[in-house]
Structure 1
């Protein structure tokens, strides 16, 4: 029996004797990768999400949303180039005017007798009478409004000079012929910080021949620009300073733009007034050119007038001489009669 059992046993699968044979585990085979064709690569590119930004029309407001569109347009509107100026702190803007009296022989030299400074809103910041450094020979009361009693409680010149110097520090100074006031105070001020109404071209006038620009008087500017009457009698330095400040405020934006574009600080700025003589000459040339183009003659009426004047100068009218008879002959005539 034992022998039969031994004979029944089979050798192991691995060649070793004993033990039942083990079955091998089946391993699932991975599919081999298939090379993508050109059609598949093209389709894959179409299926992938696009990285390009979306069209602006997708985010644009609807046509019916007119209010939103209008607000957006206004908010996105940019100022035109040259339409804006740098922001200026109005607390740094002051106006000054001084009154003078005459000293020396005949009172021909001017010295300080009163100094007034006002703020941007017209508030009086400083107003003091000053003791002249020399003996006054002409108070010029009809213009300055200064009398001898006005100087009884006046402050010394050195104190006024120190006070005004501290007050004008880092300030934009507005004035009419402000250089004369600074000269009377024996002070200087940075040219870029000066705003002189006598150097703003739109506030100036031309000579009769239309060439050179000249400053206008403050009372004339006040009447023409502000429709305001000042200096009808004695001058008031506070009123004059306020008037000068109003003139600056009236033209503040174009004035500051002109200063920003100017390369010469302290020089003339702004657009000059119209040259009437040059305009008339240009208009005449245009009319003459139009007549010549139309086959007509040039309008030489002005030339004829100039020629007539020249002829009169070259050939003056002969004056008749007055014949005075001899006195002896008159006596003989009377005797004969």
Structure 2
């Protein structure tokens, strides 16, 4: 089964740097990150359904996992601009969300890995590294690498969503469910282009469009 996945992280410690002679900063110790939220979304062409008052509701594109992770350590920075997480979201005393321990979240993901699920997302190698879970390469479909030409820049999820799907995502903060669904849509677009024999042409078109706008999404509507 194919699923979309996206993870959000918080910082437990600050990045440490030292000033070089040339005036630039050298990172001597990167900030220590911890998983704050993980969302796994069913494939958009999933055939799974559930009975709802005598009817059936299609589960395609709906979350099968959307967990907020509590940590016993103090969180230094929620990185709200990038994570969408707010102070208090991961505090059992104040959070409006259902919190689970990191170990339980890890076990859920490990189950999907062991069952052979294919994970679609943007920047998954980095996410899995921070979560500290190994996923076989054949089970990872990373749109960062799919939408990339050798010796060319890599493109953001937000830019790809705008150019290909005509959608503006992450306008204020990130939402892991939205990002996971967007990655699934981009992957489906890739498969459609491959089936039609026009993937190389489409990828060149995307890069040309990116060069015209600096690979940035225009402000406003």
Q: Which residue of structure 2 lines up, in the alignment, with residue 54 of structure 1?
A: none
Q: Which residue of structure 1 lines up, in the alignment, with residue 122 of structure 2?
A: 176
Question: Matched residue pairs, number?
Answer: 167
Name the structure with the higher strand share: 2
Q: Which residue of structure 2 lines up, in the alignment, with residue 222 of structure 1?
A: 161
What runs of 5+ residues in structure 2 fail to find an aligned partner? 16-29, 44-59, 93-98, 209-221
1:115 aligns with 2:38: yes
Q: CA deviation at 1:108?
A: 2.9
Q: Which residue of structure 2 lines up, in the alignment, with residue 162 of structure 1?
A: 107
Q: Measure the CA separation in 1 of the matches of 2:68 and 2:101.
A: 9
RMSD over equivalenced CA pairs, Å:
2.5
Q: Measure the CA separation in 2 of the matches of 1:95 and 1:179.
A: 14
What runs of 5+ residues in structure 1 fail to find an aligned partner? 1-91, 206-210, 259-269, 277-337
Q: Which residue of structure 2 lines up, in the alignment, with residue 273 of structure 1?
A: 204
Q: Which residue of structure 2 lines up, in the alignment, with residue 195 of structure 1?
A: 141
Q: Measure the CA separation in 2 of the matches of 1:155 and 1:122.
A: 23
Flag the structure with more relative contact order, 1 or 2, with Cα contacts below 8 A and sequence separation at least 6: 2
1:237 aligns with 2:160: no
Q: Which residue of structure 2 lines up, in the alignment, with residue 250 of structure 1?
A: 189
CA 102–255 in structure 1, closer or farther in 2 if over 3 Å, else same: farther
How does the TM-score come out when normalised to structure 1? 0.45
Q: CA deviation at 1:159?
A: 0.7
> Contact (CA 8 Å) 1:111, 1:133: kept in 2 or not?
no
Q: CA deviation at 1:93?
A: 0.4
SS at match of 2:67: strand
Show CA shifts across 1:145-199 (max 9, x none): 2123211242111110001111233111101011112112211111112111011
Q: Which residue of structure 2 lines up, in the alignment, with residue 68 of structure 1?
A: none
Name the structure with the higher helix share: 1
CA 150–226 in structure 1, closer or farther in 2 if over 3 Å, else same: same
